[in-house]
A and B are shown apart, each in its own frame.
Chain A
Amino acid sequence: MEKLLELRDLSINYLVKDGALSAVHQLNFDIHRGEIFALVGESGCGKSTVAFSIMRLLQGNEVVDGEIVFQGEDLLSLDEAKMEKIRGKHIGMIFQNPLDSLNPVYTSGSQVAEAISLDEKDKNVILEKVIKLYESVRIPDATERVKSYPHELSGGMRQRVMIAMMLSRNPQLLIADEPTTALDVTVEAQILKLLRELRDDFGSAILLITHNFGIVAELADRVGIMYAGELMELADVEEIFHCPVHPYSKALMASLPRITKEQGRLKTLEGTVPRIIGEFQGCRFSNRCEHAIEECFQRKPELLEWRPGHFVQCLNKEVLHGD
């Protein structure tokens, strides 16, 4: 499959009071055309920072290293005008709280229309297109709803409007940062379906950023598990769920509530995520890892191919080849 986006040795450090806080460290992964790639990890693992760095929407007090190659161009070296074009046309992003991304003083329809009016001038044609888009994201009463202001819509409807806006541009890559966190489960299920259709019908690739393994299991093709700014494991979704290799992935899978209390106990993970300022020696998970060997505290492991398409970053040979 053709590579759409490639991250090469992406490192992001935040400049904070006591030095450079490592948020993302030497990250490497690809997203192929038409694929749903999930970047999963717990809060503070740097997954959202990755999303914002691809859109080049970081705050400005970060140092970004490495390359983000999108269709053969390094986004980090583009000038702002070109980047704006890419943001408008080729890469779209939806956020956790769609109310923040919609302008409260314009009707939802006119904001979608604005996205279309770049190529189309006739007002009636635009309106028709907007209504069509609303129908395609299954907003009931589309003709009426285009006149609604963002606050008049429910959370699920707002997220649909955001997706409609994305559809109008037909981006090759959609970044969805916790797209359903604020929504009820039944609404969440509908939005997930919409995202899946977006991929199936329009061929958009989706970078799904989430901490919710339920969404990953529902939607993703491939999964990257992040911990403390690094990828610990990367594989097809079935592999991640059924034969995780890295001790961290294993611990996460064992802590998912998939059983009843009579059937057993959930595994837990003791300790906390390290806050890494400046250089760090060894594996970032070593302090919480039950399989850590001496080497783990001295040398940074590399993300290596463990099986075709399945990458693991671990030094312990028993973990990799045991069982």
Chain B
Amino acid sequence: MVINIDKVTKSYRVGSGFFLHGKKKIFALDDVSFTLREEEILGIVGESGSGKTTIARCILALTKIDEGRIEIQGRDIQSASRKEKKDLRSRFAIVFQDPPSNLNPRHRVKNSILRPLLLRGVSPQEAKERALEAMEKVKLDARYLQSFPHELSGGQQQRIAIARALVLRPDVMILDEPTSALDISVQAQILNLLLDLQKEMKMSYIIITHDLNVIRYVCDRVVVMYMGRVVEMADRNTIDQHAKHPYTKLLLASSPVLDPKDREDKRAVRWERRRMSTSKRPVT
């Protein structure tokens, strides 16, 4: 068992007053529990505002939680000492959604990749070797190490972000919408790459996405989140064929079909449940 998330609650106060009253409390995470197993690809699916990205930030202790525990191999990261936090974080790598903002636009690719290694006290020589090795793994020519991010395409930028994650040799990789900004042929490349790497390096992934088709292709288990709560959690096939929660069903029905033949079958199901998504979500 690598990560255990137990009854985590996290709220924000929103509003722009100088004093606390008059600000509203919004629950980004409300009593969230799930586990990530060894060498597992776990998908977290949900829409904007469902709290799926907040989870990633909590796991890495980039933000504090109100209640609950997040255990990484038995150690509570939220209450850990500064040194221990650093140590625990070093088991993770993270790749965010938007390829251009994933890399510092003012740093050469080489610096972006080497920096986290040097921070961990890896010698410059070894860091360089690992960087070359990672570039090979993500199938990019080593000359791109000298480039600036804006000189690369979206797919290449995302590979660099993955390469930067790989050099750390993490146990767990957190991927926040790793392909949603990419074209489908590039998406296929990145997904295949992720699958290959996972097998080769025996990592676990947490893939956060809104795209059920991506989840269906890569994930072993799925956590469905809705407005800060986990509404359903099951094996991928179970979710796909025997979803229980009405929100999961709505999500499945809304997800684009990828085959024009399936259009008609789903339409009936979908509009039955339309009420739910329009009336329960706050208009923001």
Chain A interface (Cβ within 8 Å of chain B)?
A: 42-43, 138, 140, 152-154, 157, 184-190, 193, 211-215, 217-218, 220, 237-238, 241-242, 251-252, 255-261, 265-269, 272
Contacts and interface: CB of A to CB of B under 8 A. Distances in A.
Contacts of B274: 190
B279 A140 contact: yes
Q: Which 3 A-B pairs have the closest CB atoms?
A: A214-B256, A255-B188, A189-B254
Given A186-B251, A258-B258, A157 B188 contact: no
B197 interface: no
A269 B185 contact: yes
24 contacts: A42-B183, A140-B279, A184-B47, A185-B210, A185-B251, A185-B255, A188-B256, A190-B278, A193-B267, A193-B270, A214-B256, A214-B258, A217-B256, A217-B258, A238-B260, A241-B260, A252-B185, A255-B184, A256-B184, A256-B258, A258-B213, A258-B258, A258-B259, A260-B237
A62 B154 CA distance: 25
A263 to B, nearest CB: 9
Interface string B214-250: 1011100000000000000000110000000000001
B187 interface: yes
Contacts of B267: 193
B271 interface: yes
B156 to A, nearest CB: 9
State which size class the interface on B falls in. Answer: 35 or more
Contacts of B185: 42, 251-252, 255, 268-269
B189 A268 contact: yes
B263 A218 contact: yes
Interface of B: 47-48, 153-154, 183-189, 191-192, 195, 210-214, 216-218, 236-237, 250-251, 253-263, 267, 270-271, 274, 277-279, 281, 283-284
Given A184-B210, A218-B263, A154 B184 contact: no
A265 B192 contact: yes
A267 B191 CA distance: 11
Contacts, number: 120
A138 B213 CA distance: 28
Given A213-B184, A218-B257, A241-B259, 10 more contacts: A42-B185, A140-B279, A186-B254, A188-B254, A189-B253, A193-B271, A220-B260, A255-B187, A269-B185, A269-B189
Contact of B217 (A140, A215, A242, A257): A257
A115 to B, nearest CB: 23
Majority SS at the chain B contact face: helix
Contacts of B237: 260
A212 B213 CA distance: 12
Contact of B270 (A184, A189, A257, A266): A189
Given A157-B283, A186-B47, A252-B185, A212 B256 contact: yes
B72 to A, nearest CB: 26
Contacts of A214: 213, 255-258
A241 B210 CA distance: 23
A322 B278 CA distance: 50
Contacts of A237: 260
Given A188-B254, A218-B256, A261 B47 contact: no
B259 A43 contact: no
A185 B270 CA distance: 12
A26 to B, nearest CB: 23
A257 B250 contact: no
Nearest to B189: A268
A238 B188 contact: no
Contact of A154 (B236, B257, B283): B283
A104 to B, nearest CB: 16
Contacts of A154: 281, 283-284
Contacts of A257: 187-188, 191, 213-214, 216-217, 258
Nearest to B195: A261
Nearest to A265: B192
Contacts of B250: 186
A286 to B, nearest CB: 16
A268 B191 CA distance: 10
Nearest to B220: A261
A92 B96 CA distance: 36
Most A CB within 10 A of own CB, among B195, B256, B283: B256
Contacts of A251: 185
B47 A185 contact: yes
Contact of B188 (A152, A190, A261, A268): A268
Nearest to B236: A260
Contacts of A186: 47, 250-251, 254, 277
A160 B33 CA distance: 36
Contact of B184 (A184, A188, A193, A252): A252
B101 to A, nearest CB: 16
A154 B261 CA distance: 31
Contacts of A43: 154, 183
B152 to A, nearest CB: 11
A260 B47 contact: no
Nearest to B247: A186
B47 A213 contact: no
Given A217-B260, A218-B257, A211 B184 contact: yes
